[in-house]
């Protein structure tokens, strides 16, 4: 393929600004998919993507477009997710493109993820084609949105901003011409040894790992003997092809093209994204720079409600296609065998839980998520050690702890000015430290340093509700910082329930433990006898409540027995029941949700 006729681009935007709908229109206009095959948000093919109306995984599609100059161009578009949790998908996609469409919803203007994603593209030096979407909507604010885009990126000050409606198709023909004329063709050398970037991978039960590649130099031919440069893994290109949007085999991919290689490798760990693929016979000398692995943000335990083996199989299958889902075995006294999983965020966790339920029919209990902590411990006769703890049950004993550090982020909030006061109070409540403030068009930009654990859970919902849906935010990891954190243990009926332990800031202990024991009183399944629920910090009980019995105790009711007989009966009864009960406390999902709802 003549690479002057190729355009590789990604569509980036804030969540819901219309990327998937624009991809639909581009595929329709270029007849990549027929009218009959066209369904809204066609690339969001996963059940969870349709259920939430969001993109979770990037998708690549090759379109052929006959431009007004009479030439047929190959337009390789990558639809990326907008949700913060899946930013890593955006990073991967951008490394395979030569330019981006920055899509902004004209009814909302520039939002926090617009800024964050623009920054990713800008840092990579990718040319940006600015596009305003949803101009058909009555509430579209075209001038204001244009102004915000120009403020965001001074390089766009003189540029034409394209106006489209991805829904009605308005402006799409002009946009296709702009893609051809304003976005650059790839550069590369067809005659050099093969050098291809593995920017994503998927797993096929029959064919093994299928690597998505962008060929930088040389030609990738079907049947070629290949090699991954990072780990030296050798492979045969069993099949080479393109996405339209389903896989279509071709004989070869040349410099500048984007497509896939069926590697025949059965272990997904052998193929890391960011690696360089080259030929065995004539390898390239230098590998591509690659990029960092995704960093897990939250951790949680996943336990089967009935079948452990089915859960294990399902999770392994999910992990094959989602390399950011990291699993280890976990054994809980209260819950039995299960898994500890690392996620990119709470939304990622929710997506995995839903996929287990809808795609595999497996009901699970997910424990309250936590971040990772760095704990300095001093054991008798030993040097000071720093341990990383991703599971509260593994938190060292308090009398060995010298210091605890938690991950902190730089959080950027964009909000209309009338919500600024409420949001500043919110950030304070979530232990935020004010860093900066400024204007961005009609919006105010607030920058805070915040503990990751504070924003990983319900901060986003609070932000949305206080700003009536208008504020948005993005985060950037900045490292670890010392904090006065303690582990809270929970006992039900005097038995420690490991799966309920959590780590929190000391200033929150009183309020949170009170709230927790009262929530647990409502959610722990009742028994025939009262069960005390208590929270302990550093060995001391800090909150306690009794879960009331299912119904009145038979021994206490009615009949005129002598007091001493009644008491003896009660004593025996409660001793027997406690013994029987300690080992089988039921913990349904509602119990863990109680932990999640803590302020």
Smallest gap from residue 291 Cβ to ligand GTP (A): 21
- Residue 489 sits in the site that holds ligand GTP (CB under 6 A): no
Nearest-angstrom CA–CA distance, 185 and 472: 34
Q: Nearer Cβ to ligand GTP, position 52 or 526? A: 52
Binding segment (CB under 6 A) for ligand GTP, from list 161-169, 312-320, 358-366, 470-478:
161-169
- Residue 137 sits in the site that holds ligand GTP (CB under 6 A): yes
- Residue 472 sits in the site that holds ligand GTP (CB under 6 A): no
Nearest-angstrom CA–CA distance, 358 and 295: 27
- Which residues make up each annotated binding site for GTP? 16-21, 133-136
Smallest gap from residue 132 Cβ to ligand GTP (A): 10
From candidates 167, 521, 544, 577, binder to ligand GTP by CB under 6 A: 167
Residues 380-419 that bind ligand GTP (CB under 6 A): none
| Radius of gyration of the chain, Cα coordinates, nearest whole angstrom | 28
Smallest gap from residue 61 Cβ to ligand GTP (A): 14
From candidates 7, 57, 59, 134, binder to ligand GTP by CB under 6 A: 134
For 433-501, the DSSP string reads: EEEEEEEETTEEEEEEEEEHHHHSSSHHHHHHHHTTT--EEEEEEEEEEE--EEEEEEEETTEE-GGG-
Find out whether 379 and 400 touch, Cβ atoms under 8 Å.
yes
From candidates 63, 74, 165, 201, binder to ligand GTP by CB under 6 A: 165
From candidates 62, 76, 133, 475, binder to ligand GTP by CB under 6 A: 133
Nearest-angstrom CA–CA distance, 483 and 356: 36
Residue with tokens 């993005």: 474
Angle subtended at Cα 58 by Cα 55 and Cα 63, rounded to the nearest 5 degrees: 110
Closest CA to 348 of 306, 413, 295: 295
- Residue 82 sits in the site that holds ligand GTP (CB under 6 A): yes
Binding segment (CB under 6 A) for ligand GTP, from list 59-67, 165-173, 258-266, 546-554:
165-173
Residue 551 has phi, psi (to 5 degrees) of -145, 175
Smallest gap from residue 314 Cβ to ligand GTP (A): 24
From candidates 81, 171, 407, 441, binder to ligand GTP by CB under 6 A: 81
Residue nearest to ligand GTP (CB): 82
Q: Nearer Cβ to ligand GTP, position 24 or 275? A: 24
Q: Who contacts 539 (Cβ-Cβ below 8 Å, separation ≥6)?
A: 398
Contacts with ligand GTP by CB under 6 A: the residue count is 21
Q: Nearer Cβ to ligand GTP, position 15 or 356? A: 15
Smallest gap from residue 509 Cβ to ligand GTP (A): 38
Find out whether 450 and 427 touch, Cβ atoms under 8 Å.
yes
Smallest gap from residue 9 Cβ to ligand GTP (A): 15
**Segment holding 557, helix H or strand E:** none
Q: How far is CA 54 from CA 18, 22, 149, 222, 260, in A?
A: 10, 13, 23, 35, 24
Nearest-angstrom CA–CA distance, 37 and 49: 18
Q: In a 3-state reduction of DSSP, which class is residue 389? A: strand
Q: Nearer Cβ to ligand GTP, position 21 or 62? A: 21
Q: Nearer Cβ to ligand GTP, position 41 or 62? A: 41
Nearest-angstrom CA–CA distance, 8 and 197: 14
Q: Nearer Cβ to ligand GTP, position 24 or 330? A: 24
- Which residues make up each annotated binding site? 16-21, 133-136
Residues 6-45 that bind ligand GTP (CB under 6 A): 13, 15-21, 41
Q: Nearer Cβ to ligand GTP, position 19 or 487? A: 19
Smallest gap from residue 521 Cβ to ligand GTP (A): 38
Q: Nearer Cβ to ligand GTP, position 107 or 391? A: 107
Smallest gap from residue 304 Cβ to ligand GTP (A): 30
For 514-562, the DSSP string reads: HHHHHHHHHHSPP-SS-EEEEEEETTEEEEEEEEPPSS--TTTSSS---
How many other CB atoms are there within 10 angstroms of residue 168's CB atom?
Answer: 12
From candidates 53, 223, 249, 588, binder to ligand GTP by CB under 6 A: 53
From candidates 12, 54, 271, 536, binder to ligand GTP by CB under 6 A: 54
Find out whether 193 and 164 touch, Cβ atoms under 8 Å.
no
Q: Nearer Cβ to ligand GTP, position 18 or 245? A: 18
* The two three-digit tokens of residue 18, written as one number: 């219309």
Beta bridge partners of 332: 336
Nearest-angstrom CA–CA distance, 152 and 414: 13
Smallest gap from residue 42 Cβ to ligand GTP (A): 10
Smallest gap from residue 169 Cβ to ligand GTP (A): 9
Q: Nearer Cβ to ligand GTP, position 82 or 109? A: 82
Find out whether 377 and 336 touch, Cβ atoms under 8 Å.
no
Residue with tokens 């993109």: 55
Smallest gap from residue 469 Cβ to ligand GTP (A): 14
Residues 309-348 that bind ligand GTP (CB under 6 A): none
Beta bridge partners of 436: 447
| Burial call 105-120: b when 16+ CB within 10 Å, e when fewer | bbbbbbbbbbbbbbeb
Q: Which residues bind ligand GTP (CB under 6 A)?
A: 13, 15-21, 41, 53-55, 81-82, 133-134, 136-137, 165-167
């Amino acid at each position: 393929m003549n690479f002057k006729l190729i355009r590789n681009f990604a569509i980036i935007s804030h969540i819901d600004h219309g990327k998937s709908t624009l991809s639909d229109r581009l595929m329709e206009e270029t007849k990549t998919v027929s009218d009959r095959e066209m369904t809204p948000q066609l690339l969001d093919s996963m059940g969870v993507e349709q259920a939430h109306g969001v993109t979770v995984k990037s998708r690549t599609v090759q379109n052929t477009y006959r431009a007004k100059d009479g030439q047929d161009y190959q337009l390789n578009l990558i639809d990326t997710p907008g949700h913060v949790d899946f930013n890593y998908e955006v990073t991967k996609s951008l490394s395979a493109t030569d330019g981006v469409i920055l899509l902004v919803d004209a009814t909302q203007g520039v939002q926090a993820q617009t800024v964050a994603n623009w920054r990713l593209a800008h840092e990579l030096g990718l040319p940006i084609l600015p596009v305003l979407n949803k101009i058909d909507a009555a509430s579209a604010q075209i001038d204001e949105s244009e102004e915000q885009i120009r403020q965001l990126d001074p390089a766009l000050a003189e540029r034409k901003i394209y106006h489209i409606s991805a829904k009605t198709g308005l402006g799409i023909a002009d946009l296709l011409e702009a893609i051809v004329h304003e976005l650059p063709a790839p550069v590369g050398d067809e005659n050099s040894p093969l050098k291809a970037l593995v920017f994503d991978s998927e797993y096929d039960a029959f064919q093994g790992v299928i690597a998505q590649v962008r060929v930088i130099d040389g030609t990738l031919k079907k049947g070629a003997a290949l090699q991954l440069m990072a780990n030296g893994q050798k492979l045969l290109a069993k099949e080479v092809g393109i996405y339209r949007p389903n896989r279509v085999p071709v004989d070869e991919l040349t410099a500048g093209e984007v497509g896939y290689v069926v590697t025949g490798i059965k272990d997904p760990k052998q193929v890391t994204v960011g690696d360089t693929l080259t030929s065995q016979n004539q390898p390239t000398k230098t590998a591509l720079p690659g990029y960092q692995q995704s960093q897990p943000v939250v951790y949680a335990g996943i336990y089967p409600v009935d079948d452990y083996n089915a859960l294990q199989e399902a999770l392994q299958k999910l992990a094959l296609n989602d390399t950011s889902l990291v699993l280890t075995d976990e054994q809980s006294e209260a819950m039995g065998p299960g898994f500890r999983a690392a996620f990119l965020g709470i939304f990622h966790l929710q997506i995995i839980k839903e996929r287990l339920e809808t795609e595999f029919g497996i009901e699970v209990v997910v424990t309250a998520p936590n971040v990772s902590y760095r704990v300095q411990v001093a054991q008798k006769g030993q040097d000071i050690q720093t341990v990383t703890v991703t599971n509260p049950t593994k938190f060292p004993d308090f009398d060995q702890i010298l210091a605890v550090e938690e991950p902190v982020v730089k959080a950027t909030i964009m909000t209309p000015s009338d919500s600024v006061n409420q949001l500043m109070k919110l950030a304070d409540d979530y232990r935020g430290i004010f860093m900066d403030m400024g204007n961005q068009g009609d919006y105010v930009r607030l920058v805070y340093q915040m503990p990751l654990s504070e924003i990983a859970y319900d901060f986003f919902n609070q932000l949305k509700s206080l700003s009536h849906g208008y504020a948005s935010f993005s985060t950037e990891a900045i490292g670890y910082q010392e904090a006065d954190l303690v582990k809270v243990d929970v006992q039900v009926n005097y038995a420690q329930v490991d799966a309920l332990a959590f780590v929190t800031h000391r200033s929150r202990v009183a309020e949170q433990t009170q709230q927790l024991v009262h929530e647990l009183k409502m959610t722990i399944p009742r028994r025939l006898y009262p069960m005390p629920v208590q929270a302990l910090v550093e060995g001391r009980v800090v909150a306690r409540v009794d879960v009331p019995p299912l119904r009145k105790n038979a021994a206490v009711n009615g009949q005129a027995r002598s007091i001493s007989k009644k008491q003896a009966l009660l004593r025996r009864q409660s001793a027997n029941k406690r013994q029987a009960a300690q080992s089988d406390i039921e913990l349904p999902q509602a119990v863990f949700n109680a932990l999640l709802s803590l302020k």
